[in-house]
Amino acid sequence: MRKSRKKRSKRQQPQPALSTAKPEEPREGQGAVSEDAPEATVPTEETIPEAAPTRRRFFRQAWWALGGIALLEYVWVVISFLRPRGAPEGETGIVVAGPVAGFEPGTVTAFRRGKFYLSRLEDGGFLALSRECTHLGCTVPWDDEQGRFVCPCHASAYDQRGVVLDPPAPRPLDLFPIRIENGVVKVDTGDPQKRLTFDEAQVTEP
C-alpha cells in the first residue's frame, strides 16, 4: 500500500509548463551593440611596432662607433707622420742657409724650408741632403746620438754623407746643388739629384 501511495504522489507532482513565449527583444540601450561603437582591432605584423633596441645594445653600438673613430684618427696620424710631404708651391728654389762659419764641421742641420739637411763633413765640406728616404720616400730624421740618419719606416740607415749603411734603401740620399757666395751657403732645392754612390766631387768646399 505504501509503495502505491509513493508512486501516486510522484505522478501527481506538477510538471513545469513549457513556455511558448518568445524571448524578449533587447530594449533600446540595454545590451544592444551600437553601430557607432569602434570595431575591435586585431594586432597584425604591420601594426605591431618594432622592438626598441635595448639599452645594452645601444651602448655596445656606441662603443663600437667610438672605437672605430679613435682607430681611424690613430691611422690618420700615423700616415700623416710617415708619408713624405712634397714641397708646397713657392717653397722650392734657392734657400739661403747662412754663413759658412755658422756650421761646425761634423754637424747636420735640418731646414724646414726646402726640406733638406745641410751636412758639414769633418773636413769642412758641405752636402745638402734630401730628407726623403730612397726606399719609399718616408721622412728620414737625423739621429745625433748614433751619428746617422735612421728611417722610421723600414729602418734604413744612412751616414752623414747620405750613404746607405743599412738596407732596404737602394741608394744614397738625393743631393741638392750648393753654392757658396761671399761666405754664404745657398742651396738650390728645386733641383734634386739622384746618385748611386758617394763621390768626393759631390762635396762643396768653402
- Which residues contact ligand FES by CB under 6 A? 133, 135-136, 138, 151, 153-154, 156, 168-169
CB 112 within 8 A of CB 118: no
CB of 97 or CB of 138, closer to ligand FES: 138
In the complex with ligand FES, the residue whose CB is nearer, 100 or 136, is 136
Supply the minimum distance, in Å, between the C-beta of residue 172 and ligand FES.
13
Give 106 or 167: the residue with its C-beta nearer to ligand FES.
167
Q: How far is the CB of 164 from ligand FES (least distance, A)?
A: 10
Q: Which residues contact 69 (CB under 8 A, 6 or more apart)?
A: none
CB of 168 to ligand FES, least distance (A): 6
Asked if 131 and 110 touch (Cβ cutoff 8 Å), the reply is: yes
- Strands (DSSP E) contained in the chain are 94-99, 107-111, 116-120, 126-130, 142-143, 148-150, 157-158, 164-166, 175-176, 178-181, 184-188
Shorter beta-carbon distance to ligand FES: residue 153 or 180? 153
- Paired residues of 98 in beta bridges: 185
Give the nearest distance from C-beta 83 to ligand FES in angstroms: 10
